[in-house]
Structure 1
């Protein structure tokens, strides 16, 4: 599941759980683009409940949309990632280097208040 919720005028809350197939990935990316259309200097809060690597088809969809994803990420200044998996924390923070101007910080899932405070600081 990949659920995108607009939270205020400049924040998206994204919940990710399970394994995405190609149809789910296409729908998720379309929803992400649609809901971020009017955002400037945005914030994202990712809540990764349980993560499995996406299917090969889903990865293909994601790679085919990399140029539009780079453009989309320029709308955001910060992203907080809630997860209990150490490897996801490290990968998430590394992704911050791939998107100039986007700062990504990982938190444990029980640190939602701290993550939200960091997003707004």
Structure 2
């Protein structure tokens, strides 16, 4: 399940997730991202991962279609809140691969620090 949240940043796509990510969840986030990119030019991502039990295959197809259509060049920063070390390791690897995007993990209770990071404070 995925729920959009407000972190009081107009160009941020912010959401929290728990459980399994569905095609509908993925479509919701990607549609918000497209709309904000068309409005602001570039976006920040804020992901709060309360729990994670997988992704539907159809959700991955939605993500690949988005990446093919839009790409990732419009994403400036990504802040991920999680208590899972394995997610933190993946984010560290992605940060090295996608050099144009500044990615950082935070503990679940560090939401204000994650928002400050996105704002460049």
TM-score category by the smaller chain?
0.7 to 0.9
Query: Hey, what does 2:20 align to over in structure 1?
Result: 19
Query: Hey, what does 2:105 align to over in structure 1?
Result: 106
After TM superposition, the score normalised by the length of structure 2 is 0.78
> Residues 4 and 32 of structure 1 are in contact (CA less than 8 Å); yes or no, is this contact kept in structure 2?
no
After TM superposition, the score normalised by the length of structure 1 is 0.78
Q: Which runs of 5+ in 2 are unaligned?
A: none
Aligned residues: 119
How far, CA to CA, are the matches of 1:23 and 1:114 in structure 2?
30
Q: Which runs of 5+ in 1 are unaligned?
A: none
Following superposition, the deviation at residue 47 of structure 1 comes to: 0.8
> Residues 12 and 36 of structure 1 are in contact (CA less than 8 Å); yes or no, is this contact kept in structure 2?
no
> Residues 74 and 99 of structure 1 are in contact (CA less than 8 Å); yes or no, is this contact kept in structure 2?
no
- Over the aligned positions, Cα root-mean-square deviation in angstroms equals 2.3
Following superposition, the deviation at residue 58 of structure 1 comes to: 1.9
